[in-house]
Amino acid sequence: MPYRGCRRPWPWQALAHVCQRWRHIIFTWPLHLDVQLDCDTATTDVPKLLDVWPPLPFNLKSNFFSDGDGIITKLQHHDRIVEIELTGLTRIQLERCAALMQEPFPFLRSLSLSLHRNASSPVLTEAFLAGCAPRLEKLTLYSIQFPTLPKFLLSARDLVVLRLGDVTSTESISPDTITTCLSSLTRLQALCIEHRSPGSFSDQRNPSRPPLTRAVLPSLSVLLIEGASEYSEDLMSRIDAPLLKHMFLDFFYQPVFDISQLPLFMLRSETFKPPFKVNATFEGDAVCIIVSPSESGFCHLRLECTGLYRQFSLLKHIFAQWLPLLPHVSRLDLGIFKNCDLQGDERDSMPWLELLRSFNAVQILHISASPLCYFPEIHIARGLGELTRESAA
C-alpha cells in the first residue's frame, strides 16, 4: 500500500519489477496521488520517462529559469500533473506557462509559482486553471498578480497551505475579501501573506468596520503576516482560529502602531491560555516580542524601529494596548542586544518603571544584555526601589 501520509511520491517503481502480478496491480491502480512520477527537469529526461511508463500522474519541478522550453513541453500533460513547482521564472516564461495552464488540471494537488527577483510581474487571468482547482492542497504565489484569486479560492475547498509572497497591493486580498474566501476553506492549516513594502497598504489605511460575526477557521494553526499592522489588525478582527498555535508577525516601521486586536485574537484561541511568558528584546533595527502560553505555541511579533530610547517608548505604547493580556503574564524577560551609547541623562530617563508598572502579575523578571550593551539593571533596581511596598510586591 502507498504511504498516504508521505509528501513525497511513493517509490513504486522497484516493486513494479518484483513480479508480473505486482506489476499488474500497480499499473491498474486508479490515478492515485501517491503513485506518481517525479519529473525534476534538472535531473530527469522527462520525455523518455513519460514514454516508458504508463500514463501515471507526475510532478513537474524546475529550480532554475533557463529551462523554459522544457517546462512548456511538460505542461501539455495537464490531465496527469499532480504537482507544479516553478521558481526563478522570467516574465516571458511565466506568460507562456500561463497560456498553457488555462485548461483544467483535475489532479493538481500542489502549485508553486515564483518569478525571478528582477522580473516584472504578469497578471494571471480568470481563465487560469479554467478558474478552479478542486484537489489543490497547497498554493504558493510569489511576486505574481492574480486579481481573481478570491474567486479561484472558493473552488479550492481542500486547500491546506496558502502563501502569497511579495504582494504589491491588497486590493484583491483585502481583509474583508480574504475573510469571505477563508471561511469556506475548512481544511486550511497555514496562511502566509507577505507584502513587498509599506506602499502596498495604501488601499488599507481606512479599513472598513469589521462585521459583528467573525468567520471561524477551524483548522488554522499557523499564521504569518508581513507588512503593516493595519492589515493584520483588520484581518484578526474578522476571524477566529481556535486551533492556532504559531503566529509570525513582521511589521514595517510606521509612526504609530495599533496592535490592540492581537491580544484579543490570541485569547480567543484554545492554545493561548494563561499564564503567559513575554520575552521582549531590543535589537539594532527592531523590537521583538514573543508571547508564549503555558503550553505549546507562541506569537512572534517584530516591529521595525531604530534607537533604544524610541524602542522603549514603542514597547510601552504596545503594552498599553495589551491590557486584556498583561494581567495573565507571570514571567517577563527583557533583553538588549545592540551596541548603544546613551548619555547619562538619557539612561536615567529610560521609561523602565512605566514599562514594568503594567505587569502587576509578573512573578519572575529576567533581564539580559550582550557584553557591549548598556546594561540597565541598576536603573531598574533604582526604579523598583522607589515604589511603595504594595506596588513593589
Q: pLDDT digit string (tens) for 148-206?
A: 999 999 999 999 999 999 988 888 899 999 999 999 999 999 999 999 877 665 555 55
Q: Name the residue range of residue 216's domain.
A: 38-272+291-329
> How far is it, in rounded angstroms, from Cα 320 to Cα 341?
27
Res 310: pLDDT = 86
Res 54: pLDDT = 55
Task: Quote the pTM value.
Answer: 0.82
Res 267: pLDDT = 94
In a domain, 386, yes or no: no
CATH of the domain at 237: 3.80.10
- Rounded to an integer, the average pLDDT of 112-127 is 81
Give the pLDDT band (50/70/90) at residue 46: low
* 98/146 same-domain check: yes
Res 52: pLDDT = 52
Q: Which of 37-51, 117-131, 144-158, 359-373 has the highest mean pLDDT?
A: 144-158
Res 312: pLDDT = 85
Amino acid at 146: F
Residue 332, H or E segment = strand 329-336
Give the pLDDT band (50/70/90) at residue 16: low
* 90/140 same-domain check: yes
Cell of 120: 516584472
The residue among 200, 377, 220 whose CA lies nearest residue 297 is 220
- Rounded to an integer, the average pLDDT of 19-46 is 56
* 31/97 same-domain check: no
Q: For residues 116, 146, 132 and 91, what is the CA-based torsion angle, rounded to 10 degrees?
A: -30
pLDDT above 90: residue 265: yes
With pLDDT > 90 as the criterion, what percentage of the chain qualifies?
41
Length of the chain: 393
* 259/132 same-domain check: yes
266 vs 350: which has the higher pLDDT: 266
Per-residue pLDDT reduced to its tens digit, 292-337:
998 889 999 999 998 888 888 899 899 999 999 999 999 999 888 7
Res 342: pLDDT = 52
253-254-257 Cα angle (round to 5): 105
* 176/28 same-domain check: no
* 52/18 same-domain check: no
Q: How many structural domains are present in the chain?
A: 2
* 11/145 same-domain check: no
In a domain, 125, yes or no: yes
> How far is it, in rounded angstroms, from Cα 58 to Cα 6?
15
Domain boundary among 329, 359, 377: 329
Helical axes 91-100 vs 68-75, angle rounded to 10° = 10
Identify the burial level of 188 via C-beta atoms within 10 angstroms of its C-beta, where 0-12 means exposed, 13-18 middle and 19 or more buried. Answer: buried
For the ranges 64-68, 81-85, 167-171, 321-325, which has the lowest average pLDDT? 64-68
If one counts every other C-beta atom within 10 angstroms of the C-beta of residue 248, the result is 16
If one counts every other C-beta atom within 10 angstroms of the C-beta of residue 263, the result is 23
If one counts every other C-beta atom within 10 angstroms of the C-beta of residue 57, the result is 22
In a domain, 236, yes or no: yes
pLDDT above 70: residue 100: yes
Give the pLDDT band (50/70/90) at residue 234: very high
> How far is it, in rounded angstroms, from Cα 84 to Cα 87?
10
In a domain, 157, yes or no: yes
In a domain, 319, yes or no: yes
**Average pLDDT taken over every residue of the chain:** 79
* 90/14 same-domain check: no
Cell of 237: 478582527
Peptide bond into 147 cis (omega under 30): no
104 vs 295: which has the higher pLDDT: 104
